[in-house]
Amino acid sequence: MTRTHPRTLALVLLALLALLGALVVHAADPSGREDATAALGTGAGGTAGDTEPISATILIDRGGLTGGYATPRVTISQDGQLSVLNRDTYAHTVTSEATDASGRPLFDVVVGPGETRAVPGATGLAAGDYGIYCRFHPNMRGTLTVVGGSGGTHGDKQKFVLPLAVPPTVRDAHVRLDMRQADVRMLPDGRRTRAWTYGGSWPGPTIRRPAGERTLVTVANHLPPRAGSMSMHLHGDHHASRHDGQPTSYLVPRGHSRTYRYDLTDNGRPEPGSFFWYHDHRMDHTARNNWMGLQGMFIVDDPREKRIGLPRGARDVPLMISDRSFTRHNQLTGLHEPDMVMDMGHDGMDGMDGMDGMGYTGPHAPPNDASVGTQILVNGRFAPHLRTEAVHYRLRLLNSSAFSSYELTLSDGRPFVQIGTGDGLLPEPVVRQSILLGPSQRADVVVDFHGEVGKNVVLKTVPRTDSETGTGSRVGELMQFRVRSKAPDRSSVPDRLPTPRLVDPPSDISMTWTFSLEGDETNGTFWAINGQAYDPDRIDHTVTLGSTEAWLLRNTSEVTHYVHLHEEQWRTVSRDGQPPPPWEQGLEDTWRLDPGEEVVVAARFTDHTGPFMVHCHMLDHEDHGMMATFEVVR
């Protein structure tokens, strides 16, 4: 009986694998065109060495935004080549979940509509399976299998080297923030990163003030000349229009300063305890200026919270989560800006007439404008750690990213007890295994570390699982809690919370805001509200001071939007005609709208007249047209 040599068997098996890969790709492209099957076929051959390398191509078909990769599993040999062909109308990435010690993906390639790109970082990987995903649309996921060879590059285990950065806390009635360039420690190794900062740190100082106590914040612009004028917005607060930090008015030129006034009252009463944040809001450059570091946190303290025994002091920890990309020298990468069809004069704030004709062209024009980083940071640092005691901790979670969403969970399965949003406490605590936060959204939670001395617990972001539509959530290990000692703990979470009173919503809808993509490739595309791009000279809706209105927010585009309303704190009335979930039953200022989704919100307009903004808080969408103005009048 003739025995088959083992090497011959291996070659036969690999050839069969290649044939199967070609058949799968052919099924994904029923047209059977020779160029498609040839480009997408997997080369036959053996493992690394004297045999042909195995190469493969990842296919993204039309509809990839919701359908995912058409070839979610591909196989290459260690010396093979990986490429990606994008037949979709959206730009996508092929990014490895595995990273190096600084959090950089082992490979990360952007491929525009109709393009084919090589993925050079895939060659030379160690044998094994590697998760892949699209950074722009994280619901797109797949697996790369590398076979054959020995040695090679593999991902590093997360080490959580840096301690969590805790921004300085400022409690003064008059705060000064100098906007200046500074070198900040963001990555564990190598150089510090040059950033634009409030007061020399990123995040800037955490301003902490009692509810009802007037607070003045003077902002001085000492940034480099290329930064231009700035505008600081206190996100979530109720304040006068001239102190709103709007995109085109009351700007702070280089070498000048401006004082913002926040009374921290609403209709003559102290505001509820809140977790606001401040950030730049300059027209056309909001994404860039936030990316560069102009962000900080602002906590309004309600004395009732002390009486009910919530964790406080060092056990009350604000956490700002955001993503950035870095060069090999640890410097922030530049953002890709689309080309404007016509110069609308934003930079000088002149010549604003005709804004309705604005549009953008080029590979980064809407809908392919997404400022998405490769590394996820907490309080401005990659993968930090925090030493904790085995007690309750209050974590104030903020997503300050320009575009990305995070489905937050804890590595050992312990729950979050959500007690509030960014705008105040909920009526009662909500136990949640995970919390989805989009850009500018906040969650106020309590975590119990009792009985866990010596244990490490990781805050992670995992794939979103509750919906198949809209933007998915990023994946990664964000920070580590190191539970190291026992300590007395008198804090608790009561069954009922002192939530602010919610308005009674009117039965009629006063205004509908529809969020869409408009334009075409010839004249340029833009993000729109009610079919129009932002024009600072246009008032889109007028409200009477003292009135209560219900507004309908509608998303008719193919992608998710996070809609932020300035000036008031709002009640969520319904989501797609149903009562809101328990965690949306307090006050809100930002809502996730997936494709086709509708949300009804209501507020009473008190104290202040003047213009205020409605916009998407995915900052590229805001910069590229998705903003409107409502005016409160007497």
Q: Is 601 exposed, middle or buried (0-12, 13-18, 19+ CB in 10 A)?
A: buried
Across the range 259-275, mean pLDDT stands at 96
Q: What's the rounded Cα separation, in Å, for the pair 379 and 265?
A: 28
Across the range 282-305, mean pLDDT stands at 96
Give CA separation, 439 vs 372, 392, 436, in Å. Answer: 11, 27, 10
Q: What is the pLDDT of residues 576-608, one digit of tens each?
A: 999 999 999 999 999 999 999 999 999 999 999
Across the range 529-536, mean pLDDT stands at 96
Q: What is the pLDDT of residues 331-356, one digit of tens each?
A: 999 887 777 664 444 444 333 333 44
Q: Is cis: bond before 168, omega within 30 of 0?
A: no
CA angle 74, 75, 77 (to 5 degrees): 155
- Contact assessment for residue 567 and residue 632, using Cβ atoms and an 8 Å cutoff: yes
Q: How confident is the model at residue 45 (pLDDT cuts 50, 70, 90)?
A: very low
Q: What is the pLDDT of residue 151?
A: 80
Give CA separation, 95 vs 136, 207, 285, 478, 590, in Å. Answer: 10, 37, 27, 18, 29
- Contact assessment for residue 70 and residue 93, using Cβ atoms and an 8 Å cutoff: no
pTM of the model: 0.90
Among 618, 585, 613, 505, smallest CA distance to 552 is for 505
Q: What is the pLDDT of residue 305?
A: 87
Residue 497, both tokens: 């919370």
Q: For residue 74, how far is the Cα from the chain centroid?
A: 29
Residue written as token pair 């004069």: 345
pLDDT > 90? residue 229: yes
- Contact assessment for residue 376 and residue 135, using Cβ atoms and an 8 Å cutoff: no
- Contact assessment for residue 374 and residue 323, using Cβ atoms and an 8 Å cutoff: yes
Across all residues in the chain, what is the average pLDDT?
A: 89
> For the chain, which domains are there?
6-147 (2.60.40.420), 169-331+371-485 (2.60.40.420), 511-633 (2.60.40.420)
Q: What's the rounded Cα separation, in Å, for the pair 39 and 490?
A: 65
Across the range 272-298, mean pLDDT stands at 97
**What is the DSSP code string of 225-279?**
GGG--B-EEEET----GGGS--SSSS-B-TT-EEEEEE--EETTEEPPPEEEEEE
Q: 357 in helix, strand or coil?
A: helix
**Which of 9-23, 90-104, 153-167, 444-458 bottoms out in mean pLDDT, i.e. has the lowest?**
9-23
pLDDT > 60? residue 42: no
DSSP 315: G
Q: What is the pLDDT of residue 145?
A: 97
Buried b (16+ CB within 10 A) or exposed e, 335-347: bebbebbeebebe
Q: What is the pLDDT of residues 196-208, one digit of tens each?
A: 999 999 999 999 9
Q: What is the pLDDT of residues 430-440, one digit of tens each?
A: 999 999 999 99
C-alpha torsion 322→327→329→334, nearest 10 = -80
Across the range 556-584, mean pLDDT stands at 97
Across the range 214-220, mean pLDDT stands at 99
Q: How many C-beta neighbours within 10 Å does residue 108 have?
A: 17
Q: What is the pLDDT of residues 55-73, one digit of tens each?
A: 999 999 999 988 899 999 9
Q: What is the pLDDT of residue 357?
A: 54
- Identity of the residue numbered 178: D
CA angle 205, 324, 360 (to 5 degrees): 110
- Identity of the residue numbered 516: S
